[in-house]
Structure 1
Amino acid sequence: MPDIPVGSQIFDVVFHPHEPIVYTGLLTGDIKAFGYDDQGQHQAKFTLRPSKRSCRSLAISEDGSQLWAVGKGKILYTIDAGTGKLTDSITAAHDSPINRIKRLMPHLLSTGDDEGVIKLWDPRKPEAIRAYTQHFDFISDFMWLDDKKQLVATSGDGTLSVMDVRAKKTEPFAQSEDQEDELLSILPIKSGTKVVIGTQLGILSVFNRAKGWGDCVDRIPGHPHSIDALCALPSSYPSSHSTILTGSSDGLLRAVELFPTKLVGVIADHGDFPIERIAVDLGGEGRWVGSVGHDEVLRMTDLKDVFEDEDPEEENDTGEREESVVDEDKDEEMESDMPGDIDGGEPTISVSKRRLEVGSDDEETTSTKDASDAEDSDVPQTRKKKRKKEKDALSGKAKKKGRNQVEADPSFFSGL
């Protein structure tokens, strides 16, 4: 599908749960909706600008009838998702700019601001139900555990916290130790038994719910830059339980399989612009993945083109390749004995047939914006990286290997 230009930096993207409609929240404060079809055509549905301050985050109701928006203006907006009309607003919902919002249940929302304050809302009421203050830095992402009715929040202060929304206490149910890194994104994997977190240093931290929330049980290095967004694959794909999509500040949208760890491929490339958010349409079960960043376009990628064109005979053409794949159950049994960081061995990594673009960190440029956008920007003006070709980025020690198999050092994404 061709890129959908929106005219400004996009902070968030959400899809209608049942219809081919996508909503974007922009730096200018605009909320733009687009319809699309399987042939790659798109058309504008509506544009609404409830505030001149940036719209940082969006959430949509389960039936797709209502849209909620928050941002730098500290206001919680309720919008008719069909007509684009503003139906309600709660002014001064937070004392600081609101960074994230998530729908938890039909009449329960959560919001998190730049100072680490988390609030629960019934959108039918003008006041917050509860407020939590255990964090002291921005709230970066939320995850909802429906089986326990618990809300998990990640923060720039290096910790995550778990809140039981059924309890009346304003203290969290659990809070992790300081992970010594900004936690930027969170996603459940392995049918919700484990949780993976993207960090500022490009490490994927894995938490095991059965072992508690005190500390991660595994750390997977490799991304050369921060992992700002995570997204699950549709459940129709066999590897969806352990394959995730990662959006990084190096502009690459990757598919990464965990347990065993391997890079499946690069899904989309935003060039020198970091990726802010990624989402899959139709409630996470569709064919299109939308990725947004600082390049002022909504990039729509067809997952069928990426995951349904592999030749199974070629994947199993040699016995050596089959032996190189670590048994998943065995990997999980060994997980508790693994060190906090993977730095000792040389894991075998299977790379897909697709040629992956290789880059380097040698050249740095800063993104130029016009003065008004820079003044109202809600994200640090980070230095952007230009990528160029490197020789033998994934080469390893000489060893007998299958046709599509290479040996690589632990930082197997470096240079991508």
Structure 2
Amino acid sequence: MFDTVCTIPLPHDLFTQAIHPNEPIVSVGLASGHVYTYRLPEGASDDGEVDASLASLNGFGHVETKWKTRRHKESCRTLAFGLDGRQLFSAGTDGIVKAADVGTGQVAAKIAVPRDPRSGGLDHPCLLHALSPQSLILATDSSALHIYDLRALGPKASPKPQQTYHPHDDYISSLTPLPPTSESTSGFSKQWVSTGGTTLAVTDLRRGVMVRSEDQEEELLSSVMVTGLGTRGTSVGEKVVVGGANGVLTLWERGVWDDQDERITVDWSQGGGESLDTIALLPESVSPGGKVVVVGMGNGGLRFAKIGPNRVIAELRHDEFQNEAVVGLGFDVSGRMISGGGKMIKVWHDKGAPLNEDEEEEEEEQREREAEEGLKRSREDGSDEDSDEDIESSEDEKVSKKRKKRKRNKNKTKPQGNGIMGFSGL
């Protein structure tokens, strides 16, 4: 389905990545506080013909390093492009949000992250999202959602948030805007779904937290909106797909937020699957048909799940050696998939080969049979009885998974590029 175009090595562990909305540009934030911005070769031309310089097809072209800088004194936690792509917002554990020009990297404005009201200390940022040309959302470890008016930004101003909401009891792990309704006059979203801890919540720009789900008894880590689904029965054809810490995708019908209504098991590993740390929807131009999401896993895997049939149809690996978690995932304007984790980002192109769904379905059924047989054997020998020590160990594992994306300062061998692109400016 996808082939690797290139691997871009990074000097430090990746914390976050952002993909430009309308140009082949990707920016990465590192544990060292550095921000690197790369320009990829152009993709298809306006008439649909592939550009002769497209490295994914003929081996020529370069990944250009547009600029690089140590943007924050400590790790860069999160990045987000403005809706028009002119600014790149970054936030670090130094407690500063910076707005920079995408072309030059020059900082144009700064925001001081509000202190944690409970401790009075730094409240580390965990997520940035440009909701509209006027509104920027900043989420923090204390579960705060700060809303800023971008029109108040300036070289000397450090504006206060217009609104602050607390939709969860734990740090906010993902944020997905809900598409505007037909009654919207601006065309921009004013509501969004967030995940934090074991709950999902819906927040309105003006009215605050509108609804919060029941406790799902599993950490919710990632989310994406899927529209254009069937509208049979009470379904409105729009669902939010949420990735959990135990290898399961849950589907939430828009407007029915108290609890999930469908599940897709992505990883059948015994004892609980790998965490689904990030998720993206395949563009229609590269989808094999229907609605397909790709999830980045805690062990470096990438798995593709088709919504509707609700099953895994393909899998790849971002990291084949270190098993580093996939912490960044998305598609650029040319439909190339960009995955990030460990000390590298990978660029993939759609090779155009259709998926053999019958074969994939057989493999899925085989995995289910193997999982059931393993569970049956464990019950026969009594190994499924939980002791207090086992339960405590399981809780420790959950806590470890929860923070694994933030504690990535291990000294590991720098991966070598194995792609077919050249590099300039690295």
TM-score (norm 2): 0.69
Q: Give the number of equivalent residue pairs.
A: 318
Query: Percent same amino acid among aligned pairs?
Result: 28
Deviation, 1:261, is 2.6
- Check 1:292–1:188 CA distance in 2 against 1; reply closer, same or farther (3 A cut): same
Deviation, 1:252, is 0.8
- Check 1:378–1:268 CA distance in 2 against 1; reply closer, same or farther (3 A cut): closer
Deviation, 1:48, is 2.0
Deviation, 1:351, is 5.2
Which of 157, 173, 186 is the aligned partner of 1:140? 173
Instruction: Give deviations 1:47-84, integer Å, cap 9, x for gaps.
Output: 12221211111111122110101121221111111101
1:253 aligns with 2:302: yes
- Check 1:248–1:378 CA distance in 2 against 1; reply closer, same or farther (3 A cut): closer
Equivalent pair of 1:268/1:301 in contact (CA under 8 Å): no
In 2, distance between residues paired with 1:199 and 1:109? 26
Equivalent pair of 1:265/1:351 in contact (CA under 8 Å): no
In 2, distance between residues paired with 1:241 and 1:77? 39
Superposed counterparts of 1:11-410, under 5 Å: 11-37=15-41, 38-40=54-56, 41-95=62-116, 96-125=123-152, 126-148=159-181, 149-156=190-197, 158-167=198-207, 170=208, 172-191=209-228, 193-210=238-255, 212-223=256-267, 224-237=273-286, 239=288, 241-271=290-320, 272-282=323-333, 286-294=334-342, 296-302=343-349, 304-305=350-351, 308-310=352-354, 349-350=361-362, 379-380=406-407
In 2, distance between residues paired with 1:164 and 1:6? 38
Unaligned runs of 5+ in 1: 325-347, 353-357, 361-375, 384-416
Equivalent pair of 1:16/1:281 in contact (CA under 8 Å): yes
Instruction: Give deviations 1:190-241, integer Å, cap 9, x for gaps.
Output: 436111100111111111114x100000122232300000001112245565
Equivalent pair of 1:267/1:301 in contact (CA under 8 Å): no
Equivalent pair of 2:133/2:150 in contact (CA under 8 Å): no
Deviation, 1:103, is 1.0
The secondary structure found in structure 2 opposite 1:62 is: coil
- Check 1:53–1:122 CA distance in 2 against 1; reply closer, same or farther (3 A cut): same
Unaligned runs of 5+ in 2: 42-53, 57-61, 117-122, 153-158, 182-189, 229-236, 268-272, 365-369, 375-402, 411-426
Deviation, 1:292, is 0.8
In 1, distance between residues paired with 2:284 and 2:206? 29
Instruction: Give deviations 1:328-374, integer Å, cap 9, x for gaps.
Output: xxxxxxxxxxxxxxxxxxxx92559xxxxx9x9xxxxxxxxxxxxxx
TM-score (norm 1): 0.71
Letter in 1 for 2:83: E
Kindly report the root-mean-square deviation, in angstroms, between the aligned alpha carbons of the 2 structures. 2.7
